[in-house]
Every structure is written in C-alpha cells, then in structure tokens.
Amino acid sequence: MLRFSANLSFLFLDRPFLDRFAAAAANGFKAVEFHFPYAFPVDEVVDAAHRAAVEVVLFNFPAGDWAAGERGIACLPDRVAEFREGVELAARYAEALACPRVNCLAGRRPDGVDEALLCATLVDNLRHAADAFAPAGRQVLMEPLNTRDTPGFLIDRTAPALAVLDAADRPNQGLQYDIYHAQVMEGDLARTLESALPRIGHIQLADNPGRHQPGTGEINFPFLFRHLKAIGYEGWIGCEYVPTGPTEDSFEWMV
C-alpha cells in the first residue's frame, strides 16, 4: 500500500496556507508536507495539523531568500552561521509538529567559488544538522533539483547526492528522491529507485513535462507504483505537482 502526502506548497493554493491542512484531510490525505512553515507561529501550524488530524511528514530547512531566487544556502561558505540558525529554527518546528524528517536544499553554485569548497561546506552543514537532529530521532534529507528549473543548483542528480551523503556519513540522513527532478536530469527511474532504496527517506512526484499530476506526461506512474510496492518502499510519497485545474480534480491517478 503506497502512502501519499499532500504537498501544501503546491496543492490547494486557492486558499490560505493554514486552511490547506483541512482541505488535504477532506480529500482523503492522512499526511501533509510543505516547503516552509516559518512565516507562521508554530502553534498555529500545530493547531491546523491537529484540527485536520493529519501528520506532518516533511518540510525544508530555511533556504535563504526564496523570492530572490535562492534555493538553499547549505553549500555557501559565507552563510554557515545562517544555515545553522536555520537548523535550530527547523528543530523547534519539527519538535512541535512531531515531524520525522527535514529536507536540506544545497543551493546554487555562486560564481567564482571552488566546487570542492562548496561540497565541503555542504558536507559540514549536513553533519551539523544530522547531529542536531539525532537525539530526537529525526532524519535530515537532501534533495537533488533539476538544473533546467533551477540553473546552477549544486546537487542535481542522484549519484552526487549519494556521494555527499556518504562523505557526511551520518546514520540519520538520507536522500529525498523527487521523481520529477530525476526524470528531467537522468531518467532510469525504476533502477535508480531500486538501487538507492535503502538511502531514500522520502519520495516526491510530478509528471514531466509541466510538473503536473501523474498521467499528464511521459512518466509511466502505474508501472512505477507497482515497482515501488514490489521493491518494498514503505515511506511517504509527496504529491508535489502543479494541478492542471482545481486541486480536487487532480487525484484520479491515485492508487
């Protein structure tokens, strides 16, 4: 049985963030995820999740100035203090929300900084976050993003993500495998999911092209869902897609 989580940064965008929890529940979801809860007092987010009776299964560490185009700061040598303050903030939200995992976005490569320094900074920050989250038993994930939508993103494929996680070498860390980004960058979804399975802490999906719901593009989701069941994936699958119409009308693909 596959378990789907509603990504509230993509779905139900016709209503305020805190109202999306109830909308997810009304559409049958038992779990939600989102990019960032930090604009809202933690008690209000907890209250929204409790009233909707949904689990919060994932959100991101603070990732810099999103509106200005930043997509994470974890690789940036001049932003280490800011990243680590973000880890503390995320830990407070994760604790209050009983959220078991938080995703780290590596960030885009700045001009003129050596790649080895960017990777070393990322590894150090991942270690720091994992060590901060270990006592509570929470996991730190890292997600490759495709460089067509996010030019210059440092970690854009499965292999470099796993190499960085290997270098960080912490037991409570893992890969966030986003099927959409992986299809754009590398394809070979079924084999990669199988080989990376022990490292995967969370999966997200959208079809390609367009990043819409399954069934709108080239990815054979019925096959992938059978495959995920066959290889024994037991985690959540986040619905992180742009619905082609009203969100409520975008769930026909769900098994």
Ligand X SMILES: O=C(O)[C@@H](O)C(=O)CO
Q: Catalytic residue numbers? A: 143, 240
DSSP code string of 112-159: T--HHHHHHHHHHHHHHHHHHHGGGT-EEEE----TTTSTTBS--SHH
104 to 2, 75, 87: CA distances (angstroms): 24, 10, 10
CB neighbourhood size of 251 (10 A): 17
Q: Which of residues 13-42 bind ligand X (CB under 6 A)?
A: 35
Check: CB of residue 45 under 8 Å from CB of residue 32. Answer: no
Residue with smaller CB distance to ligand X, 24 or 105: 105
Q: Which DSSP state fits 109? A: P
- Binding letters toward ligand X, positions 140-169, x by CB under 6 A: ---x-x------------------------
* Least spacing, CB of residue 112 vs Mg ion, in Å: 28
Residue with smaller CB distance to ligand X, 103 or 147: 103
Measured CA to CA, the distance from residue 45 to residue 160 in angstroms comes to 34
Q: Which of 5, 60, 121, 216 binds ligand X (CB under 6 A)?
A: 60
Does 207 bind Mg ion (CB under 5 A)? Our answer is: no
* Least spacing, CB of residue 154 vs ligand X, in Å: 13
Q: For binding to ligand X (CB under 6 A), which residues are involved?
A: 35, 60, 71, 103, 105, 143, 145, 178, 181, 204, 240
